């Protein structure tokens, strides 16, 4: 297969933990041809969607891990599959890229995850489609409603709808300390919509990343455990990653959502679960492949490339 990865610059990869690198390594081990391009390399010339893409080969050297040929303009239909692995922020440039990738699909390209599905599933808001699995949740820009929610639940989490890596997440306890200031900051004085949820104490045992590939639950998850008094378990916020078997509840959530999300065009999904509750549905570039594989021996990248080969 000829596989193109839409990804961030390779020079910024931390290959000891990067899930895209794990995908590339597995694909290369099977003899697949690898190419890379960024969103900024996408072009529509009036007829076809193309990308200024470069072929790469992997060296196996941890300090000098790839060789890259000179980029050349290629139509996306010339690849067997395009794997979207660009990290957030999910800004307007990201959205424009999904429009171009969607156009390429209409011309015959295969894109994973499907661009329309990525665009339609805000990673915070998507959980509202599955209310049976979520904690008490409010989505609003109205300060009075946030205050009423706090009055009811006493201990709450507030977060922006476009954050990543735990950025912009606040906890407010029963004393309501700084609630007004936090609301003003996150909503830009009522101009931006935010999400508010009842605090889930089980965060102390970890924010679990449950991976679902081709509608199937990966048997191990990664618990991102908050450190040093933090409320956020995100690895980017200093959380400790501990792999463990998925629980019965995590499997229940994954098996309920997996087939639905796969049917929508989401081959790879990262479900975030705290305690018994679904808190996010990650669809842009879900991670934790390497941490799970290194700690359990279960090759997540192998399961993913198996799924990619089946759709070709």
Query: Which comes out higher in pLDDT, residue 83 or 239?
Result: 83
The reported pLDDT for the residue numbered 30 is 98
Q: What is the pLDDT of residues 121-164, one digit of tens each?
A: 999 999 999 999 999 999 999 999 999 999 999 999 999 998 87
Q: How confident is the model over 77-135, as pLDDT tens digits?
A: 999 999 999 999 999 999 999 999 999 999 999 999 999 999 999 999 999 999 999 99
Q: Rounded to an integer, what distance in angstroms lies between the CA atom of residue 98 and that of residue 86?
A: 11
**pLDDT given for residue 238 in this prediction:** 77
Q: Are 34 and 5 in contact (CB under 8 A)?
A: yes
230 or 283: which leads in pLDDT: 283
What pLDDT does 163 receive? Answer: 80
Instruction: Give Cα separations from 297 to 1, 147, 244, 245, 294 (angstroms).
Output: 26, 47, 11, 12, 6
State the Cα–Cα distance between residues 9 and 54, nearest whole angstrom. Answer: 12
- For range 35-60, the mean pLDDT: 98
Q: Which residue has the higher pLDDT, 226 or 16?
A: 16
- Per-residue pLDDT, averaged over 249-265, amounts to 98
22 has pLDDT over 90: yes
CB 98 within 8 A of CB 118: yes
**Average pLDDT score, the chain:** 96
Does the structure show a pLDDT above 80 at 165? Answer: no
The reported pLDDT for the residue numbered 241 is: 94
| pLDDT band, very low/low/confident/very high, at 264 (cuts 50, 70, 90) | very high
pLDDT band, residue 237 (cuts 50/70/90): low
pLDDT band at 230 (very low <50, low <70, confident <90, very high): confident
Structure token digits, residue 297: 């021996």
Q: Specify the DSSP class assigned to residue 70.
A: P
Q: Is the dihedral of CA 63, 89, 245, 237 positive or negative?
A: positive
Between strands 33-37 and 111-112, the pairing is unpaired
Domains and CATH numbers, the chain: 2-112 (3.40.50.20), 136-199 (3.30.1490.20), 202-311 (3.30.470.20)
Sort residue 162 into left (φ over 0), alpha (ψ -120 to 50) or beta. Answer: alpha
**Mean pLDDT in residue range 244-269:** 98
Contacts of 52 (CB under 8 A, 6+ apart): 37, 41, 43, 71, 72, 73
**C-alpha span between 157 and 233 (Å, rounded):** 13
Q: What is the percentage of the chain residues whose pLDDT exceeds 70?
A: 99
The secondary structure of residue 12, as a DSSP letter, is G
| Cα angle: 236, vertex 26, 58; to 5 degrees | 85
Entry pTM: 0.95
Which are the catalytic amino acids?
Answer: 124, 159, 209, 224, 232, 272, 280, 282
pLDDT at 289: 98
List, in sequence order, every residue forming a beta bridge with 195; answer none if it has no partner: 139, 159
């Amino acid at each position: 297969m000829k596989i193109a990865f839409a990804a961030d610059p390779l020079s910024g990869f931390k290959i000891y933990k990067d899930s895209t690198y794990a995908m590339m390594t597995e694909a290369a081990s099977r003899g697949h041809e690898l190419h890379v391009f960024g969103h900024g390399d996408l072009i529509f010339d009036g007829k076809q969607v193309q990308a200024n893409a470069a072929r790469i080969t992997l060296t196996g050297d941890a300090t000098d891990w790839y060789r890259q040929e000179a980029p050349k303009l290629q139509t996306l239909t010339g690849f067997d599959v395009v794997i979207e692995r660009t990290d957030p922020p999910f800004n307007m440039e990201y959205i424009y890229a999904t429009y171009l990738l969607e156009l390429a699909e209409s011309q015959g390209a295969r894109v994973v995850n499907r661009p329309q599905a990525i665009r339609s599933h805000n990673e915070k808001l998507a959980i509202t489609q599955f209310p049976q699995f979520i904690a008490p949740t409010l989505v609003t820009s109205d300060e009075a409603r946030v205050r009423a929610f706090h009055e009811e639940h006493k201990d709450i989490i507030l977060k922006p709808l476009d954050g990543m890596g735990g950025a912009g997440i606040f906890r407010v306890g029963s004393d309501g300390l700084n609630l007004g200031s936090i609301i003003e900051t996150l909503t830009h004085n009522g101009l931006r919509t935010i999400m508010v949820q009842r605090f889930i104490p089980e965060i102390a045992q970890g924010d679990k990343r449950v991976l679902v590939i081709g509608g199937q639950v990966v048997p191990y998850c990664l618990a991102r455990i908050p450190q040093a008094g933090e409320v956020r378990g995100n690895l980017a916020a200093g959380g400790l990653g501990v792999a463990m078997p998925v629980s019965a509840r995590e499997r229940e959530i994954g098996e309920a959502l997996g087939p639905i999300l796969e049917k929508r065009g989401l081959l790879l999904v990262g479900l975030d679960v705290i305690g018994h509750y679904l808190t996010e549905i990650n669809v842009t570039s879900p991670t934790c492949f390497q941490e799970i594989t290194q700690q359990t021996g279960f090759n997540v990248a192998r399961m993913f490339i198996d799924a990619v080969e089946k759709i070709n």
